[in-house]
Structure 1
Amino acid sequence: MSSKNNKMELLGNAPIPKALIAMGIPTMLGMMVNAIYNLVDAYFVGGLGTSQMGAISVVYPLGQVVVGLGLLFGNGAASYLSRLLGKGDKEKANQVASTALYSSITVGAIIIIFSMIFLRPILKLLGATDSIMPYAVTYASIYIVSCIFNVFNVTMNNIVTSEGAAKTTMLALMAGAILNIGLDPVFIYVLDMGVAGAAIATAISQIISTLVYLTFVLRKKSIYHFRIKNCTFTKEIISEIFKIGIPTLVFQILTSLSISLVNTQARPYGDSVIAGMGAVTRVVSMGSLMVFGFIKGFQPIAGYSYGAKKFDRLHEAIKTSIIWSTAFCVIYGLVLTIFSNGIISQFTKGDLEMIRVGTQSLRINGISFMLFGFYTVYSSLFLALGKGLAGFILGACRQGICFVPVILILPAFWGINGILYVQPIADLLSAIITIFMALHLHKELTLTKQKFLSEKTE
């Protein structure tokens, strides 16, 4: 019981820097190791050839859509759960956690079955060329089925983080990722299984992460009780989960859409361009996943503080998170910009066109990545406060509202450069929109605080 009280103390009363470090750093480290796995996976597959590298680049967005179902229920529930804990309503919190977990598994299984039935047409739509398709089918046939474990893991990741158990999330992420890094060369090269070996290594690692979460729940370390009988599909619970979960799912779908649109636009330029852009996506994703990991720690603090009417604490959490995340993004962006050629060269045996395209894209993406921390804090903050519509609009900017029109129009006028520069342009436009929405939010929070204080003194 003392550990559960400590979690509540961390969310509600601990100094903000201490709370952010305790909540954000473990999740950030876990996401970092997970991101490193993605890079290592691409590194080993890239050693097989350009078409194999292109295959995992094409399958990647499909996997992200499936995992988005875990985010739909997990992230949607997490925001509500943090606010419920702030209000002290643990009974409803149990209902929300159970409803989210069992719903995500059920819906995830349905989508995976659908994806496997229509696998080839889906991969074609995602940009697979004739030379990439055989490898993509082999990889996806194993990887997509194993995503049922990832749906569970992503859902639990969000739910467990909402109660302040960031170290458990870190352990689950790191256990799976480290194992995957070790298994990749064994299955791909030692056992000579190629891209199938990469998919099997991923499946095993996801199962290990699932076992970590199951151990946490079965040993009754969680504040929540995950029971089927607790599943409650009331209008209030479903609307609260979906209010935040649907925007989150849409963000994930837009991310997958943006990657598939890049692949589709790059297809006329050959496998080298698809592979090069795929490498850039994974390298930039390493930084973005680390920021997301840190923000995972910020979100429950923000939601809890808002639910408990601790507005000064909320303001301090926002300010500190912006400073810390922006500092990280500037450093990471500079590394990508300065060492772009050396980084991209690690993902190919010596495909000069892939290196040229990837280097140019990574250099400009590194510069625009410096804006990512500021944007992400606010896109996550709106969701943490239960402001689903505003969160949806802002969250949809970077990979949707600002990205899709540019990728559909710019390549027609600027050729391959229109593909390479699309994300940086979308990043800049998203940051500008964020400024205006952030100013409006702070005015609203000030008025809410004043109203609360006046009611309190009456």
Structure 2
Amino acid sequence: MTKETLLTGKPWRGILTFMLPVFLGLLLQQFYNTADTIIVGNFSGEAALAAVGACSVLTMAFLALASGFSTGACVLIARLYGAGRTEQMRRQASSALIVMVGMGIAATAVGVLISRFALRYILDTPESLLDMADTYFKIYALGLVFQFGYNIVSAILRGVGDSKATLYFLLIASVLNVVLDVLFVYNFRMGVAGAAIATDIAQIGSCAAAFLYMMKKYPVFRWKWRAFTFELPLATLTLQRGFPMALQQLIVSVGFVFLQRAVNSYGEAMTASFTVAQKVETYMTLPASALMTTQSTYTAQNLGAGRPDRVITGAKHTVAISETISICILAAAYLFAEHIVALFRLGPEATGYCTAHIRCAAVCLISFASYFPLLGLFQGANNALYATFVATGALAVRVLSTYMLQEIPAIGYHMIWWNMLFGWGVGCLLTWVHFFRGKWRSAAVIQTGAGLA
């Protein structure tokens, strides 16, 4: 990917070129997460599968911090790259790296310390699953520092237009994770502990590959020891720009605490079903998520280059691409839902729940795909707080509708999945109203003491 691809030529072509490696990278990332679910479900049983699923909210929360703050750094790097300010970009990347690695070390310590308390008192994990869930998450948390390291390097590379790199790193992680899952869970019968160890080793592999690739391919990021500097104003800027994105994703994670509690109240079958359905739902939303990441970088680079006219055109092209893909996914997911669920070998009750959940998500996907990529535009235009507002509103509606409407006998547990219709509908409305009102344009001019314009 070159600078000219996002800054010149037809927007849809540059967006698709950048988006495809991002999408494939996310697909591989999700694949190795799903490998845990399939292998644990097949070789350790439904209870072990439910235990891994019970940790999903916690893993999402830490990923939100790693991904959110890294996305903020990506926007800063992209803006400087578009403006051709190489030296400041180099210093910004150096400070962002140090901040994120430090946060990763802290996250590892916190994750190990809060694991059992959070699972028992916050997520209300069933007692029968608590020990397995605690074992899984404590081991998983040991790899968080490498997750933070990988995310910040990938963000820097995306900022300079290299979206293909993450695909290579995640390919390494995916292969490692699947091979080690089979080895530890099936051959060594290590259960959930084996699945967590496999994930940690995969994280280490992708993080090491990312650092080596960046240092070798980009001389501007090939720091010598004295050139690898930490500048407080630039580090603060990374945190300021990343905070709205991290908050957005963290709110989603916290909101899922309440959804997970509602799920757990229906027993192990519903918990196992929700675990699988969430995995499949994530696959269905990956194209829109990849387009959001693409739109954020595209917007930041073009604004940095002084081309706001291309931002509007790019947004329209992005939404059109997103909706076209989502219609194809809707048809495939609705038709093959039962075959997809069969891969996880759930019991009859959980299978029924999961099939209905997946079909509902497929229908609601049209709404999600129409607005989610535009959140990337707001992020790239320094209007990330509104994206956070949208995410908060959408999730609040999902949680409230679940707890209020599940009390109606005719609806009951069906709200575990139909809450998407209400939440994503509100997100769609809030996003498009803001886009057409155009107030996000005024936030596109960044004024900071660090000199980023």
* TM-score of the superposed pair, with normalisation by structure 2: 0.90
Distance 1:448 1:352, change over 3 A: closer
28, 31, 40: which one aligns with 1:33: 28
C-alpha separation in 1, matches of 2:265 and 2:140: 27
C-alpha separation in 2, matches of 1:52 and 1:148: 25
Given that 2:73 and 2:96 are in contact with CA atoms closer than 8 Å, whether structure 1 keeps it comes out as: yes
C-alpha separation in 2, matches of 1:448 and 1:384: 8
Letter of the 1:334 counterpart: A
1:51 aligns with 2:50: no
175-184 vs 144-153, greater mean Cα deviation: 175-184
Structure 1 residues 283-294: aligned runs within 5 Å: 283-294=280-291
Given that 1:243 and 1:386 are in contact with CA atoms closer than 8 Å, whether structure 2 keeps it comes out as: no
Letter of the 1:93 counterpart: M
Structure 1 residues 31-110: aligned runs within 5 Å: 31-47=26-42, 48-110=44-106
For residues 286-340 of structure 1, the C-alpha deviation after alignment (integer angstroms, 9 at most, x for no partner) is 2223432343233222111122221332222212111111111221122222222
Partner of 1:269, secondary structure, is coil
Structure 1 residues 408-427: aligned runs within 5 Å: 408-413=403-408, 414-427=411-424
C-alpha separation in 2, matches of 1:353 and 1:49: 15
Letter of the 1:392 counterpart: T
Matched with 1:272 is 269
Partner of 1:164, secondary structure, is coil
Task: Return 5+ residue gaps in structure 2 as ranges.
Answer: 446-453
For residues 122-167 of structure 1, the C-alpha deviation after alignment (integer angstroms, 9 at most, x for no partner) is 1122232111112112211211111211111122222211111111
Structure 1 residues 385-400: aligned runs within 5 Å: 385-398=381-394, 400=395
104, 127, 136: which one aligns with 2:124: 127
Matched with 1:455 is none
Matched with 1:204 is 201
Matched with 2:232 is 233
Partner of 1:403, secondary structure, is helix
Cα offset for 1:445? 4.6
Distance 1:120 1:326, change over 3 A: same
Partner of 1:131, secondary structure, is helix
Aligned-CA RMSD value: 2.3
For residues 110-129 of structure 1, the C-alpha deviation after alignment (integer angstroms, 9 at most, x for no partner) is 12212212221111222321
Matched with 1:334 is 331
Distance 1:79 1:305, change over 3 A: same
Given that 1:325 and 1:373 are in contact with CA atoms closer than 8 Å, whether structure 2 keeps it comes out as: yes
C-alpha separation in 2, matches of 1:205 and 1:408: 38
Letter of the 1:101 counterpart: L
Task: Return 5+ residue gaps in structure 1 as ranges.
Answer: 1-5, 450-458
Distance 1:294 1:178, change over 3 A: farther
Distance 1:296 1:389, change over 3 A: closer
Given that 2:39 and 2:185 are in contact with CA atoms closer than 8 Å, whether structure 1 keeps it comes out as: yes
Partner of 2:127, secondary structure, is coil
396, 400, 410: which one aligns with 1:401: 396
Aligned-residue identity in percent: 22
1:311 aligns with 2:308: yes
Cα offset for 1:404? 3.0
C-alpha separation in 2, matches of 1:59 and 1:437: 35
Distance 1:397 1:156, change over 3 A: farther
Matched with 2:353 is 357
Letter of the 2:22 counterpart: T
Cα offset for 1:188? 0.8
For residues 11-49 of structure 1, the C-alpha deviation after alignment (integer angstroms, 9 at most, x for no partner) is 322432332233111111111122222222211111222
Partner of 2:252, secondary structure, is helix
Cα offset for 1:223? 4.2
For residues 376-409 of structure 1, the C-alpha deviation after alignment (integer angstroms, 9 at most, x for no partner) is 11111100111132222123333x3332322343
172, 176, 196: which one aligns with 2:173: 176
Letter of the 1:192 counterpart: R
Given that 2:37 and 2:276 are in contact with CA atoms closer than 8 Å, whether structure 1 keeps it comes out as: yes
Given that 1:94 and 1:225 are in contact with CA atoms closer than 8 Å, whether structure 2 keeps it comes out as: no
Distance 1:56 1:434, change over 3 A: same
Task: Give the number of equivalent residue pairs.
Answer: 439
Given that 2:35 and 2:177 are in contact with CA atoms closer than 8 Å, whether structure 1 keeps it comes out as: no
C-alpha separation in 2, matches of 1:222 and 1:7: 16
Given that 1:410 and 1:419 are in contact with CA atoms closer than 8 Å, whether structure 2 keeps it comes out as: no
213, 235, 242: which one aligns with 2:210: 213
Letter of the 1:42 counterpart: T
Cα offset for 1:367? 0.5
Given that 1:33 and 1:173 are in contact with CA atoms closer than 8 Å, whether structure 2 keeps it comes out as: yes
Distance 1:419 1:121, change over 3 A: same
Structure 1 residues 363-382: aligned runs within 5 Å: 363-382=359-378
189-198 vs 18-27, greater mean Cα deviation: 18-27
Matched with 1:454 is none
381-390 vs 400-409, greater mean Cα deviation: 400-409
